[in-house]
């Protein structure tokens, strides 16, 4: 904890003054260009990966970058999506999975969650992704990677069930993107929707 408090001090002393103009502008303006949905995993840092400044990404992070499908009992994730799309008017929504995801590893191995009832319950939002992976032919050492990719597809499908997203898609005001970030290499693969596969992200 000491390191974290020291980090805040260093931020106030060094990083904040260096961006004083930016923070002054941001104090009265919130216009992010994208909603970035990633895993809560500490190794996945959206602003670092995309080299964005404060104010540029509206970020939702959940275990396994899962997006529950819309329901009448809408939750905090649904509220954040609705606000980003309908109020802030983000032009892009990115669902970003990652290599070595603990949630996907647990799901792929299919057990050991008896003492983690909240995690087990939450991971049901990836049931369709797991079914897709189970139906494919994957070497055992490729199963988690396949599930990470199938899960991005599954969460993009869940995202489309949210009325705010459905409306923005119908009006061509938003574009959905599926990414997978590789922790070891720093590379990002993006879903090529037409080809139905992930390819190296190009600017």
What per-residue string of b and e applies to 115-151 under the rule 16 or more CB within 10 Å gives b?
eeeeeeebbebbebbbebbeeeeeeeeebbbbbbbbb
Between residues 39 and 94, which has the closer beta carbon with respect to Zn ion?
39
Q: Which of 34, 35, 37, 39 binds Zn ion (CB under 5 A)?
A: 39
Cα-Cα-Cα-Cα torsion 164, 177, 104, 149, nearest 10 degrees, comes to 140
If one asks whether residue 41 binds Zn ion (CB under 5 A), the answer comes out as: yes
Between residues 85 and 147, which has the closer beta carbon with respect to Zn ion?
147
Stretch binding Zn ion (CB under 5 A), from 87-95, 98-106, 117-125, 143-151: 98-106
**Shortest spacing between CB 133 and Zn ion, in angstroms:** 15
Cα-Cα-Cα-Cα torsion 58, 34, 176, 173, nearest 10 degrees, comes to 120
Stretch binding Zn ion (CB under 5 A), from 75-83, 84-92, 95-103, 106-114: 95-103
Q: DSSP letter for 53, please.
A: P
Q: Interface with Zn ion by CB under 5 A: which residues?
A: 39, 41, 101
- Residues annotated as part of the active site: 39, 41, 43, 98, 101
């Amino acid at each position: 904890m000491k390191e974290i408090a020291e980090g805040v001090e260093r931020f106030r002393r060094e990083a904040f003054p260096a961006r004083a103009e930016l923070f002054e502008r941001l104090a009265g303006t919130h216009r992010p260009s994208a909603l970035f949905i990633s895993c809560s995993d500490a190794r996945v840092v959206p602003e670092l990966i995309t080299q964005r400044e404060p104010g540029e990404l509206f970020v939702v992070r959940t275990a396994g970058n899962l997006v529950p499908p819309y329901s009448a009992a809408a939750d905090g994730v649904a509220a954040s999506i609705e606000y980003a799309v309908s109020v802030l008017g983000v032009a892009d929504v990115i669902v970003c999975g990652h290599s070595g995801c603990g949630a996907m590893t647990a799901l792929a191995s299919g057990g050991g969650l008896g003492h983690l009832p909240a995690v087990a319950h939450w991971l049901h939002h990836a049931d369709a992704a797991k079914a897709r992976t189970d139906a494919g032919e994957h070497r055992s050492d490729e199963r988690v990677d396949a599930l990470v990719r199938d899960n991005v597809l599954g969460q993009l499908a869940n995202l489309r069930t949210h009325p705010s997203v459905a409306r923005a898609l119908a009006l061509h005001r938003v574009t959905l993107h599926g990414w997978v970030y590789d922790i070891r290499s720093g590379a990002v693969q993006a879903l090529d929707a037409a080809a139905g596969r992930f390819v190296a992200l190009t600017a």
